[in-house]
Amino acid sequence: MTIHYNPMKCTGCAQEFAFPSIGRSYTDLPEAGGRHAAHFSAMLLQQAWCHECEGASWVERIPGEREFATAAGLRRRADRSGYEGIDDDLLEIEDDDFRWLYEHLPHRKAPPRCLVCASTHFTPIDATQRQTPIVHEACWDSPIEFRGFSIGSGGLQTGGRSYAHRFYDAEGDVVWAKLCMQEFLVGRLIVILHARRHDPAHATLAAAIDLVINRASDDALAVLAPLAAANNPAALGLLGALHYVGEGVAHSGTEAVSLLEKAKALGDACAAHNLASLYATGAAGVAKDIARARQLFAEARAMGGQYERDDFYAHDNFTVANRTFYHPI
């Protein structure tokens, strides 16, 4: 059997279309502000052809009430072996995730959207069928076929580049993102990118975050510059976060601390969380300080900046809890 890394293929010109790498979850944080018993839930995905992206993409799969009720009945069975072999993602997720989705998604008002561009203009793809209703307009409307997924084709990108995991609310809106910078033999550093909706500059900040996630850091910096010059706390915090991981700017712990401290003093809870992460791992020019990290994480939570499950904050060594580390070269 042939494993295809680019499962969509035009039957006319033979152009292949790969599904984007993704990292997506639902959360009930942090717009409510640092609540206890934080919950993060898996997002059910449906492969689709996005007509705005003009390519293969992913959309949220939002099951109907009947689907949820059927799955709930099967999951309540003491012997779950009875549904082995049934291909249903509602039967495969963790119990806590299922309960959260069952509570929130049946009441969803917003339609599912492309998880790359947020468009609602897409055509779902049936993974059990080779033929699709999609045509390649650039190739005289030749049919595009679905040839199957590859092993690992839906994974996150790693290596010497950054990748992001986005977190959505129950209505499918992005609330914040986790940016990870990984370098071989150096380590992995993680920061939170968050533009709170009550910020007067929310639209601009959200656009800058989207540019960072889509690897257009130079454009993001140009967007953030006037806001940072005006001492917008979130903009200062975002710049500090980028210096911490070295995304688009110099990898400088000292510059990151300066910006994050200033943003924190101006009330940015996300900056406080990222400052705690910096001291938990250390950074270029800044030594690891777990005691300081523990203090800052507590301050961040008090400010409404909780971005991890409760048990994360119970660890004595946050670098282990967050699986991040930094080794200066």
Peptide bond into 106 cis (omega under 30): no
pLDDT at 236: 98
Name, in order, each residue with C-beta under 8 angstroms of 206's C-beta and a sequence gap of 6 or more: 174, 195
d(CA 134, CA 238): 40
Residue 302 DSSP code: H
The residue written with tokens 């799955």 in the block is 71
The residue extents of the domains of the chain are 10-146, 162-326
The residue written with tokens 């003009």 in the block is 54
Report the CATH architecture of 162-326: Alpha Horseshoe (1.25)
d(CA 79, CA 323): 35
**pLDDT tens, position by position, for the chain (329 residues)?**
344 456 899 999 999 998 887 788 998 765 545 445 567 888 999 999 999 999 999 999 999 889 999 888 888 876 665 555 566 888 888 888 999 999 999 888 899 999 988 899 999 999 888 999 999 989 999 999 998 765 443 443 434 556 788 999 888 988 899 998 876 555 678 899 999 888 999 999 999 999 998 888 999 999 999 999 999 999 999 999 999 988 999 889 999 999 999 999 999 999 999 999 999 988 888 988 999 999 999 999 889 888 888 888 887 787 766 666 665 54
CA atoms within 13 A on the CB side of 278: 31
C-beta separation of 165 from 171 below 8 A:
no
Two structure tokens written together for 214: 């889509």
The residue written with tokens 């059997």 in the block is 1
Apex CA 62: angle with CA 56 and CA 66, to 5°? 135
C-beta separation of 136 from 54 below 8 A:
no
Q: Considering only CA atoms, give the Rg of the chain.
A: 21
pLDDT at 218: 93
Helix (H, G, I), strand (E, B) or coil at 306: coil
C-beta separation of 307 from 241 below 8 A:
no
Q: How many helices (H) and strands (E) does the chain have?
A: 9, 13
Q: Kindly list the strands in the beta sheet with 16-17, ordered across the sheet, starting from the edge strand earlier in the chain.
A: 16-17, 8-10, 142-146, 135-136
pLDDT at 313: 84
pLDDT at 322: 62
Two structure tokens written together for 155: 């994974």
